[in-house]
Structure 1
């Protein structure tokens, strides 16, 4: 709802900032591309719109209407991405505009700690205040308590042992008087004492699988303590080894990927950065055969980092990962497939149009499932320029009911038609219309053209469209003729 407050260029920035935790980098990429097209582009209209007052409706009848800056009505993640983006580009922004935005964010009745910290960081960067602290008093107190807990831990095990949950103490530390449960964990004739609140964790750790180098796993009972040969004391080695064993494996985005992809993530990134033979690379890793549930993780692991692919590389990746899966749809796309398609289409709209949307439109057996997915991309991922590009792609193919659905979706989004393009579109209506005399979908599309785009209809267009409507056999025929009759060409 709030996106409509912005102009065309600013809408792209807003949509980028709403795209997850990588929104700031996406917005920066959009900004740089807009600058390349228009070197005189300014972010001032974008900042001014964010600072405009907006009337908010009360949640209950007894509450009065309130007025808040528009930026305060966006979700916390948007504000976080916005401030990160502004910090990256604040050197090219007018200081008053940045200060006004920060003042608006301080009026937020629902402040987020991260947003507060980022506001203070920007205030420090712009010289609004003299070195404001980036943390709250409560945060300072917790950091002090955490630092006190670290006293006595070795250099290699301090933070890891503290943050892993249960605190492991050596035999010399157990004499300090803290409550200790006489639970012992036996392994190869040696004993290690655990804190009292770690009984269940200690038992579960015996069954836990731990990742080791080379991708192999072994039980904790079979783990060999190689630290004994390093010259450290035996008790310190036992404490550090157990502290590492009790920590679960990191739950990152790569964990759900197939094994042959997971072990190659670094090589994948290196290959993509070097612009090597991407098609051969995608074929070797069997990208077209990957299960759909792995696609979101793969996209976040490889495509989200600050890698700015060329057009050809992005098109090849999109074609290899998604095209066959979209073409083979016989039912609505799964959530995983939709997530992967929308993320790639938002980041690389032009390659997505040519490598995915175009080939799907050209498919003779394109069905409703494919049309539904393309409509979601048109509505949520493409701006006016790329929507018109999709429309132009339909001029080169024979229309069917599914293609009509896509064209109708483009028209509903109200792209900015040029006179030449509308003339080409009207010619397509006349040439392809005779096969849809009984099609309600075609009639609804025509009604959209005559009502939403009547200012584009010239006298020549009106005369041609009159003949097209004469052969229409649907229940909308009279409505179509009435809409055409109301048009008065300039």
Structure 2
């Protein structure tokens, strides 16, 4: 439910930041795509929403309701990704907004050390004087102990001599064990002598130092607090956010070996800049071997939502060439993963590549397209003319009458806007086969949602289409309802609307 607090563009960024370890990279990619489409785009709306007060429900009956900034209710991984993201793009944000966000994060009753450190580092980057160290007191103590153990072990080969002759206690793991682990990771050699020195030893020592520091600084209580907060958010946002975006990484271990191999082949193909031959296209046959859950993992692993638009036509051609056709669930998952985020983020007319991909898949898989792409776009509160133009292309060139009727019924479930009015008008112009029940439902929508469009020319033109092209459907009861609706109209088409309604007679 937290995702409903954000507008369309901010919601895409939030979903990207929730997508695990790759969240920062995905958010930057989404932001740059939005910025290219709309150079005036600002992140202020995202930050303002995150700083809004939100009621926090108690975990137990004995606890009282509390009010916290919305950002404090997100899991720690999201906060870490958010601060790293802002560090990369803070130049487009006012300094006061960033400082306000950091102040809100400081109200977290269970602060995560990494979030605290990233916040302090961001403050320093903004020029704010903060003398507090970036590391925790526990980490400071461990570093002091490590420094004392290393003192006086030699000038040129101190790390090597230390690791070969002394023991660094880190729980149950010793430095010699770390050295052995580091040795196993060497690519060109199976054994490294502590006395060999040189560049290879220096590189290995860097890895060992990082391992020792990382293993010493983990705090079990901090991990517990992070998991508790993360679980809370995932429960609230489960219906809004795809499951793969709530996980640190897709669970590729659940895939059979032959599918894993195909995923690697597809990934290499998508990243190549060469022409695809028939053998290349054949790797997509694996889609017919996957069940719905495996298709989701495959799409997530390939990061199809981040695929460059110029690659879409080739990919769609390969999918459309498959025989037999994909099942409904596989096609729906593929379309949603590949196209939904791209369409929702449009702020200018869709590119030729995107239009080609959407229309080709819609012509071949109309039902999955209606449910996995068109319906979510219609339900989005902030869709604009670019989305409406793209959907109108599909209505005019790709969908049969019964699918157009399905889309018209979908519009009954959403709040109308100027963009939705354009889509409804396009549906009505295409003359779907309206039965009496659907037309009555549509009339009820006209009457209930009409008062907010008293000055809308688009709404007036849509009404004129209803009264001229569907006059045979208008009953006496409909006529009475529509008459009261037209009385509120304030456009130049009011007289034409009243005249068209008056011409409708009943025998």
Q: Using structure 2 for the length normalisation, give the TM-score.
A: 0.61
Offset, 1:320: 3.5
Counterpart CA distance in 1 for 2:412 and 2:87 is: 38
1:390 to 2:402 alignment: no
SS in structure 2 at match of 1:96: helix
Q: CA deviation digits over 1:345-392, x for unaligned, max 9?
A: 3454368964665345435x955x664334564368896146422244
Aligned equivalent of 1:345, options 309, 331, 339:
339
Aligned equivalent of 1:444, options 412, 420, 441:
441
Asked if the contact 2:55–2:66 (Cα under 8 Å) also holds between the matched residues in 1, the reply is: yes
Asked if the contact 1:353–1:390 (Cα under 8 Å) also holds between the matched residues in 2, the reply is: no
Counterpart CA distance in 1 for 2:320 and 2:464 is: 44
Asked if the contact 2:339–2:373 (Cα under 8 Å) also holds between the matched residues in 1, the reply is: no
Counterpart CA distance in 1 for 2:393 and 2:117 is: 47
Offset, 1:483: 5.1
Q: How much is the aligned-residue C-alpha RMSD, in angstroms?
A: 4.6
Asked if the contact 1:57–1:66 (Cα under 8 Å) also holds between the matched residues in 2, the reply is: yes
Offset, 1:85: 1.4
SS in structure 2 at match of 1:155: helix
Q: Which has the higher contact order (CA 8 A, sep 6+)?
A: 2
Closer/same/farther in 2, CA of residues 383 and 463 from structure 1, 3 Å limit: closer
2:377 aligns with 378
2:150 aligns with none
Asked if the contact 1:13–1:27 (Cα under 8 Å) also holds between the matched residues in 2, the reply is: yes
Offset, 1:100: 1.6
Asked if the contact 1:327–1:370 (Cα under 8 Å) also holds between the matched residues in 2, the reply is: no
Structure with greater helix percent: 2
Closer/same/farther in 2, CA of residues 81 and 342 from structure 1, 3 Å limit: farther
Asked if the contact 1:120–1:134 (Cα under 8 Å) also holds between the matched residues in 2, the reply is: no
Match runs of 1:29-428 below 5 Å: 29-56=29-56, 64-128=64-128, 129-130=130-131, 132-135=133-136, 137=138, 145-146=169-170, 149-153=173-177, 155-157=179-181, 255=253, 259=257, 262-263=260-261, 269=267, 271-278=269-276, 280=278, 282-287=280-285, 289-293=287-291, 294-303=294-303, 309-318=307-316, 320-321=318-319, 328-329=326-327, 333=329, 340-349=334-343, 354=355, 357-359=358-360, 361-363=362-364, 366-367=366-367, 371-374=370-373, 377-378=376-377, 384-385=383-384, 387-388=387-388, 389-397=390-398, 399-409=400-410, 412-414=413-415, 416-417=417-418, 422=421, 425-426=424-425, 428=427
Asked if the contact 1:437–1:473 (Cα under 8 Å) also holds between the matched residues in 2, the reply is: no
1:168 aligns with none
Offset, 1:313: 0.3
Closer/same/farther in 2, CA of residues 427 and 154 from structure 1, 3 Å limit: closer
Q: CA deviation digits over 1:420-451, x for unaligned, max 9?
A: x9468436415515x3234x345434543553
SS in structure 2 at match of 1:33: helix
Offset, 1:107: 0.8
Closer/same/farther in 2, CA of residues 326 and 360 from structure 1, 3 Å limit: farther
Asked if the contact 1:447–1:483 (Cα under 8 Å) also holds between the matched residues in 2, the reply is: no
Q: CA deviation digits over 1:161-210, x for unaligned, max 9?
A: 9xxxxxxxxxxxxxxxxxxxxxxxxxxxxxxxxxxxxxxxxxxxxxxxxx
Worse overlay, 152-161 or 281-290: 152-161
2:26 aligns with 26
Q: Using structure 1 for the length normalisation, give the TM-score.
A: 0.63
Offset, 1:19: 4.2
Counterpart CA distance in 2 for 1:113 and 1:339 is: 37
Counterpart CA distance in 2 for 1:104 and 1:348 is: 31
Gaps of at least 5 residues in structure 1 are 162-225, 233-250
Asked if the contact 1:411–1:448 (Cα under 8 Å) also holds between the matched residues in 2, the reply is: yes
Counterpart CA distance in 2 for 1:329 and 1:445 is: 32
SS in structure 1 at match of 2:176: coil
Closer/same/farther in 2, CA of residues 292 and 116 from structure 1, 3 Å limit: farther
Asked if the contact 1:288–1:320 (Cα under 8 Å) also holds between the matched residues in 2, the reply is: no
1:212 aligns with none
Closer/same/farther in 2, CA of residues 370 and 34 from structure 1, 3 Å limit: closer
Counterpart CA distance in 2 for 1:404 and 1:120 is: 56
Gaps of at least 5 residues in structure 2 are 147-167, 194-248, 344-349, 491-507
Offset, 1:344: 2.4
2:472 aligns with 471
SS in structure 1 at match of 2:302: helix
Counterpart CA distance in 2 for 1:311 and 1:159 is: 43
1:486 aligns with 485
